[in-house]
Structure 1
Amino acid sequence: MELLSANQYISSYIIQSQEEEIKRIALELHEGVGQNLYSLYTGLQLIETGTEQPQLKSYIQEMGRLMERTIQEIRLLSVELHPPSLSALGLLPAVKSYAKLYTSTFGIVVESESTGEEQSIPEQRNIAVFRVCQEALANAAKYADTSRVKINFFWEEKGLKIVIKDFGRGFNYEECNHGRLSGLAAMKERMLLAGGGCVISSKIGEGTTIEISLPLNGDSGDQRRVCIDKNSAC
């Protein structure tokens, strides 16, 4: 066990502040901009019923379809930024809900399995784990060239382990581009600050596996301390 350094405290504070702002923006998109657009959409429908000019009617219908797509995109963006189910229902339902959105967006099937009894996780740590799962899925869509991802949750009394496997092309760490390296480093940093760990392994032609671990009780749950996994690779 090692105490968090001053830099890690700062990183933790920055991430927490960012998440609060993201949550606020997501709520505003859904309940502010989204609701306003929906009101305009219903107004367009009312105008459409009151006009007899075919050309104008066709134009209003096209505008209505465009607005409908925009409303849907805003809703999806809001859920991606901060899924309401994460706070209301917990980590597992939130990941499953996001997986459905992910599949409809990228066409990649996400299989999820859960072993053991799901446990309650403090909000900040819940968000950290969800963001790492989200980043892992995003990386699979960007780089893996795969049609299938599997997520396994293993719930135990003292900890949670999540294994994410993409069955894609795999990669060589030494040849990673900067963007990908930054994403991997961010995942590991998030889990470190949450008191857990993140181990990433990959083989060319066999895909990439991400193992997330998070203690669920005892002293390891104190965010002033973290477990350092000396064997964690890229």
Structure 2
Amino acid sequence: MVNSVSQHQIRSYIIQAQEEEIKRISLELHEGVGQNLYSIYTGLQLVESGLGQHHLKNYLHEMTQLIEKTITEIRLLSVELHPPALTTLGLVPALKSYLKLYTSTFGVQVELETTGVEKQLPEQSSVAVFRVCQEALTNIAKHADTSDVKMSLLWNEAGLKISIVDFGGGFAADEIEMNTVSLGIAAMKERMLLTGGHCLISSKIGGGTSVEISLPI
């Protein structure tokens, strides 16, 4: 029992340490690289507007489009690492902010439905829930081959329940090997266990995948 508790505490400490480092990197990406790229982007737009040669205008236009795409990707990466809205505004605004960038980057539309009154969660719990949702949505974008996702949040007196359902190809649970997908699924379950919650993942070939998250409050 002592060993079990010790291992539990070690895993919790490692995750907290990782989150602090992730927060630092996210801030540097947003305020450093992202801001520099935005300055270059606006500068190129200004130069483009003053050019008279058609081929140079086309070239600069392609460059500005590439930088604009890079800025969007960096914003998504920054939010993925640590969404600023999570600690200031709460879980639902943070998820809405993430979904907006997620859709613009991957082209996957997520229908979000919330029921009940949002409650303030401890930071560790809100980060854990956000990370699990993030991992589920990333897996959908990379592996599900679908652009149709439904996500629902139910707040009640007992706690929070989240459902993420895609209508993609699905997978057979017994066929998953030790790769990034299986490790990601294991991390999702571990994060929820560490906060006293649960994560249930069900899928079948041709039937899509469902992720059910529950967290007592």
Q: Same fold (TM over 0.5)?
A: yes
| Structure-1 residue corresponding to 2:24 | 24
- In the alignment, the residues of structure 2 paired with residue 56 and residue 173 of structure 1 have an alpha-carbon distance, to the nearest angstrom, of 53
1:68, distance to aligned residue in structure 2 (A): 3.4
Higher mean C-alpha displacement, 56-65 vs 35-44: 56-65
| Structure-1 residue corresponding to 2:117 | 117
The amino acid across from 2:148 in the alignment is: R
The amino acid across from 2:141 in the alignment is: A
Q: How big is the alpha-carbon RMSD for the aligned residues of Structure 1 and Structure 2?
A: 2.5
Q: Normalising by the residue count of structure 1, what TM-score does the alignment of the two structures yield?
A: 0.80
The amino acid across from 2:191 in the alignment is: R
Q: Normalising by the residue count of structure 2, what TM-score does the alignment of the two structures yield?
A: 0.86
Greater RCO (CA < 8 Å, at least 6 residues apart): 1
1:56, distance to aligned residue in structure 2 (A): 6.0
Structure 2 unmatched runs, 5+ = none
Q: How does 1:44-193 map to 2 (within 5 A)?
A: 44-45=44-45, 60-179=60-179, 180-193=181-194
Residue identity over aligned pairs, in percent, reads 66
The amino acid across from 1:168 in the alignment is: G
The amino acid across from 1:209 in the alignment is: S
| Structure-2 residue corresponding to 1:12 | 12
1:66, distance to aligned residue in structure 2 (A): 3.6
| Structure-1 residue corresponding to 2:195 | 194
> For the Cα contact (< 8 Å) 2:114–2:153, is it kept in 1?
yes
Q: How many pairs are equivalent?
A: 215
- In the alignment, the residues of structure 2 paired with residue 7 and residue 15 of structure 1 have an alpha-carbon distance, to the nearest angstrom, of 12
| Structure-1 residue corresponding to 2:215 | 214
Structure 1 unmatched runs, 5+ = 217-234
User: 1:3-22: per-residue Cα shift (whole Å, max 9, x none)?
Assistant: 96211211111111111111
Cα pair distance change 1:160/1:104, threshold 3 Å: same
* Structure whose residues are more often helix by fraction: 2
User: 1:35-80: per-residue Cα shift (whole Å, max 9, x none)?
Assistant: 2233334444555667777766665555444433333332222122
Radius of gyration: which is bigger?
1
Cα pair distance change 1:89/1:54, threshold 3 Å: same
> For the Cα contact (< 8 Å) 2:189–2:198, is it kept in 1?
yes
